[in-house]
């Protein structure tokens, strides 16, 4: 199940960058973010309520649910949407792949948890692969003031995402259900973005075009309801450091789609990049598979795991 959720998240979030491009237009980015998470939160909240799985969150944990909303459902996306005004979305997705490094660093800074050597090695190999995949794009982006600002915002958004991983892990350790926290958090995030936008006088227009509505629905339901629930469940199962490695795979999915949809040509350097990303994934996770095979038939080992 963990492998399935991992692959599902990579597939969904590897395609959301394309949908985000369709939301950059006449509608203010604050409105688009608010619409996305209001719809996602309402759908998830209603589904959980109908299934009898919506749980009450004690008041002492509400500040941490709000903090998760700040990190995962508002501030990070505001940074990403702003960044795509200055740099190509492909570059933003590359910067986002640095979440695996941020998660390792934040885990050490806040919890003094040293990463396993294989996690560090896999992260380095994967990031080298991303550099090979996007070498031409990165070199073709002139580093002027606007580009530097866009890259800075993309890094800040990635840091918020990483911090949200740790907050979610904290909430899960205290027994808060992932889906319930996401439902409340998405509604909180939508309200936060809408409130700040209202204070700034941002107009809340709407684009009735099929492209905008289709992107909104895709980002809200698969991209948010399914994607965040699957991702944060993986965080619960294998930890934020290993879970964040999937961000390295998102640009690979985007490029694979480009091969068939946009005629992207795989150069030898890009092929090397693909191979390095996959090799990094093997380095991070292969030891877990081997240990699992060695422990079969040992109940005490399974309990420890």
Please give the residue that has the higher pLDDT: either 157 or 142: 157
Residue 292 lies in a domain: no
- pTM beyond 0.85, yes or no: no
CA distance 43 to 206: 20
Residue 136 lies in a domain: yes
Q: How many domains does the chain have?
A: 1
Residue 305 lies in a domain: no
Does 143 have pLDDT greater than 70? Answer: no
Lowest mean pLDDT of 158-172, 254-268, 281-295, name the range.
281-295
Does 78 have pLDDT greater than 80? Answer: yes
**What's the average model confidence in pLDDT over 125-132?**
76
Residue 196 lies in a domain: yes
Residue 293 lies in a domain: no
**Helix 117-133 with 246-261: angle, nearest 10 deg:** 30
pLDDT digits (tens, 9 = 90+) for 101-121: 777 777 777 667 776 777 777
- The reported pLDDT for the residue numbered 59 is 93
CA distance 233 to 305: 16
Residue 64 lies in a domain: yes
**What's the average model confidence in pLDDT over 275-283?**
74
Residue 298 lies in a domain: no
CA distance 200 to 170: 33
- Residue 169's domain spans which residues? 1-285
- The reported pLDDT for the residue numbered 294 is 42
CA distance 155 to 100: 12
Whether 17 and 92 have beta carbons less than 8 Å apart is answered as yes
Q: Which helix (H) or strand (E) holds 149?
A: helix 145-173
């Amino acid at each position: 199940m963990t492998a399935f959720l991992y692959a599902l998240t990579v597939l969904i979030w590897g395609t959301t960058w394309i949908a985000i491009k369709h939301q950059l237009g006449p509608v203010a980015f604050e409105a688009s973010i608010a619409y996305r998470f209001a719809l996602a939160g309402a759908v998830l909240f209603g589904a959980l309520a109908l299934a009898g799985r919506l749980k009450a969150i004690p008041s002492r944990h509400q500040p941490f649910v709000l903090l998760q909303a700040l990190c995962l459902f508002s501030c990070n996306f505001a940074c990403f949407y702003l960044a795509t005004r200055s740099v190509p979305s492909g570059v933003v997705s590359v910067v986002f792949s640095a979440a695996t490094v941020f998660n390792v660093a934040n885990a050490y800074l806040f919890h003094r948890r040293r990463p396993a050597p294989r996690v560090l090695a896999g992260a380095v190999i994967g990031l080298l692969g991303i550099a090979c995949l996007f070498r031409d794009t990165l070199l073709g982006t002139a580093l002027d003031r606007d580009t530097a600002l866009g890259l800075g915002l993309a890094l800040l958004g990635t840091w918020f995402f990483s911090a949200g991983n740790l907050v979610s892990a904290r909430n899960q350790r205290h027994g808060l259900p992932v889906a319930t926290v996401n439902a409340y958090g998405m509604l909180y995030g939508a309200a936060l973005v809408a409130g700040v936008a209202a204070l700034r006088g941002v107009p809340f227009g709407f684009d009735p075009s099929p492209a905008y509505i289709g992107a909104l629905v895709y980002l809200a339901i698969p991209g948010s309801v399914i994607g965040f629930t699957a991702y944060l469940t993986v965080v619960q199962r294998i930890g934020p450091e290993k879970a964040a490695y999937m961000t390295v795979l998102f640009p690979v999915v985007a490029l694979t789609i480009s091969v068939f949809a946009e005629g992207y040509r795989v150069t030898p350097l890009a092929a090397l990049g693909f191979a390095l990303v996959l090799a990094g994934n093997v380095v991070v996770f292969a030891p877990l598979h081997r240990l699992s095979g060695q422990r079969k038939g040992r109940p005490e080992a399974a309990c420890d795991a």
